[in-house]
Amino acid sequence: MFTTRPEILGTFGIVTSTHWLASASGMAMLEKGGNAFDACVASGFVLQVVEPHLVGPAGEVPAVFYSAKTGKVEVLCGQGTAPKGATLDHYRNEGLKLIPGNGMLATVIPGAFDAWMILLRDHGSLRLRDVLEPAIYYAEQGHPLLPRVADTIKGLKTFFETEWPTSAALFLPGGNAPAPRQIFRNAPLAETWKRVLREAEAKGRGREGEIEAAREVFYKGFVAEAIDSFVRSTEVMDQSGSRHRGVLSADDMASWSASYDAPLTYEYHNYRVNKIRPWGQGPVFLQTLALLKGFDLAEMGPVSAPFLHTVVEAMKLAFADREAYYGDPNFVQVPMETLLSDTYNDARRKLIGDKASLDLRPGHVDGYELQVERTMKALRDLSTTDRKVTGGEPTLASMRSARRGDTVHIDVVDRFGNMIAAMPSGGWLQSSPVIPELGFMLNSRAQMFWLEPGLPASLEPGKRPRTTLTPTLAEKDGKPYMVFGSPGGDQQEQWQLLLFLRHAHHGLNLQEAIDLPMAHTAHFPSSFYPREQKPGHLAAEETFGKEVLDELRERGHDVETVPAWTVGRLVAASRDADGLLHGAATPRLMQAYAVGR
């Protein structure tokens, strides 16, 4: 079939990400003799510079990776936790029922930097200077500003000028919103990374010593001190319509570190899929596979109404369980063994009929009845079904808003057999004001907590928010095979699933699977403020065709037809058993790119 670009093939290395400059920078690390982990770190730092509306240095990053050296698949958790001062009582005393989607109270401990450093220290081979130099170059010398970044800044111009003056100073050079593709620089951020390098190289001995010193500089040195001072001294207008001070402190940062975790896995035909545990929404993907295992998807066309209907109805059930059961396993017991069991899914599968469901239907697990009841009450009281409100992250054109952020993604495979999928996010330019001396913003991931007690995702100090970030690594026939992902908040699992199923069941290559029409549902509550939901909703690109869309309407779906090439930002890479590497990237939004040789 025709594709918008070729599937990249090679044997040396593949880097694919949501921006061509990040992909090229990662590839430069492979050319230097580095491995997939060096490349991923370099790409991650460049994305903070060139996609500031989607990710920043104070954000977070989960990653799932295979190391040829250890022979293991692992998860890297760069998701920061709630600060010590982030208590239910404090937020309620601030007059809040929901945590705002931006501002200081939406902030958790920045997790990405430590995660990148730990990955580089333990699995990379290049020095800190090598992987930071591309990001420093683009921050200092400039890069062509993406049209969507320019549009976001333009939409926030008045707000920045009246409420967030430090953001106006950086993002409105000369008092004007920058034009699309104008060369844009972030000199304070370049200086931050150069100072981190100077201090790390002065304090640390050797490659690992420099990396350890950089962690110290960020979490206990001048970076943490600047964040602490800014949070203490700044009262910020946020989406609640009121001004609030934050609770993040230097002590919170000094006492936190990124960590490794075992992946949660599910066997699906000849694949084993690896995801993050239920501190994120990753298990939704696995629960959906457990439901779909009972259907003959190969007999359904990859863009047919029966295929899309079956997948969407299964996802509705899995996402309902996300609301009722998922939370940080360090704080709550999540019955994942039951949720992925054949007995549970055999019963749940019977709920998938020929007609679309309009109800949110979490499953029954013995001993969790009161928790589910409390969750459903909170959703009835606090989640809106106003169809004028659009939620999630703004990857879909109709969902875009200058107030919302999004996410980026990186996949790398190398000639040594290493592979990694990383999903950096948070610290968007629209999440909170710029910290002037650092050149970056804090994150807003705390908005995924509930302020109702007794829920699996209720706010607690030291707890991880139930994030939407969800990279994927699939093994095939017992060997590490494929890494993939997409930005898009609650839609991430849905678009990734369409890619995976079309590849696994219909034999499409990575680029073919990405280029086919995409769809998703907003049937369940959004993870983002103000927690809206649209029962029965199904957004589908017009390229599915009138016949398919009409059949979906006949099945009871509330179909929202959206323009072609507007849904999803998928990228993917894989490695065959003989060492042949594959890479692909979506043409949607005209910026993702796969490179390799």
pLDDT tens string 451-485: 999 999 999 999 999 999 999 999 999 999 999 99
Q: Which of the residue ranges 90-104, 265-279, 377-391 would you say has the lowest mean pLDDT?
A: 377-391
Give the DSSP H/E element, type plus range, for residue 379: helix 369-382
What does the buried/exposed string (b/e) look like for 4-29 if buried means 16 or more CB atoms within 10 Å of the residue's CB? eeebbebeebbbbbbbbbbbbbbbbb
What percentage of the chain exceeds 90 in pLDDT?
96
Q: Which amino acid is located at 532 in the chain?
A: E
Give me the pLDDT at residue 385, please. 76
Which DSSP symbol is given to 569?
-
Match 């009871």 to its residue by tokens. Answer: 556
Give me the pLDDT at residue 383, please. 86
| Residue 571 in tokens | 């990228």
Give me the pLDDT at residue 406, please. 78
Q: Is 329 helix (H, G, I), strand (E, B) or coil?
A: coil
The answer, yes or no, to whether residue 380 has pLDDT greater than 50, is yes
- CB of 79 closer than 8 Å to CB of 470: no
Query: What are the beta bridge partners of residue 519?
Result: 540
pTM here is 0.96
Q: Where are the beta strands (DSSP E) in 379-531?
A: 410-414, 419-422, 472-476, 479-485, 519-520
Span 190-235, pLDDT tens digits? 999 999 999 999 999 999 999 999 999 999 999 999 999 999 999 9
How far is CA 122 from each of CA 67, 117, 129, 208, 261, rounded to the nearest angstrom? 10, 9, 16, 8, 14
Give me the pLDDT at residue 404, please. 53
Strands 13-17 and 410-414: antiparallel
- 96 by Cβ neighbours in 10 Å (0-12 / 13-18 / 19+) ranks as middle
Instruction: Using pLDDT thresholds of 50, 70 and 90, give the confidence band for residue 389.
Output: very low
The answer, yes or no, to whether residue 387 has pLDDT greater than 60, is no
Span 250-263, pLDDT tens digits? 999 999 999 999 99
Give me the pLDDT at residue 384, please. 80
Question: How far apart are alpha carbons 439 and 222 in whole angstroms?
Answer: 13
| Residue 578 in tokens | 């003989």
Q: Minimal CA–CA distance to 115: which of 72, 67, 57, 71?
A: 57
Question: How far apart are alpha carbons 455 and 372 in whole angstroms?
Answer: 8
Q: What is the mean pLDDT of residues 26-37?
A: 98
Question: How far apart are alpha carbons 105 and 97 in whole angstroms?
Answer: 13
Give me the pLDDT at residue 405, please. 59
Q: Minimal CA–CA distance to 526: which of 327, 377, 386, 345?
A: 386
Question: How far apart are alpha carbons 96 and 391 in whole angstroms?
Answer: 19
Q: What is the mean pLDDT of residues 513-540?
A: 95
| Residue 98 in tokens | 């929901």
Q: What is the mean pLDDT of residues 28-56?
A: 98
